[in-house]
Amino acid sequence: MFSTGQLIFVIFFVLVFAGILIMSYRKDKKLHNRYYKGSLWILLGFIAFIILLFLLKDWLKP
């Protein structure tokens, strides 16, 4: 399906891309902790809202 060169490129690309993402996250970790302190509560509220919508949809079904 894929040639050997394509598979080597994909493996190399994934490894390099993951490495760059990890390095970038480590570099910005202090800034993330400072500026996005309460973001976990926002995420939990959003998930709860979506669950509530699904529950209401099933409850109000004729």
pLDDT tens track for 3-58: 999 999 999 999 999 999 999 999 998 888 888 888 899 999 999 999 999 999 98
Q: How many domains does the chain have?
A: 1
Q: How far apart are CA 36 and CA 39, in angstroms?
A: 5
Q: How far apart are CA 48 and CA 55, in angstroms?
A: 10
Note the helical H segments in the chain. 4-35, 39-59
pLDDT, residue 48, reads: 98
- Which residue segment(s) compose the domain that 10 sits in? 4-59
pLDDT score of 62 more than 80: no
In degrees to the nearest 10, what's the CA dihedral of 26, 27, 30, 31?
A: -120
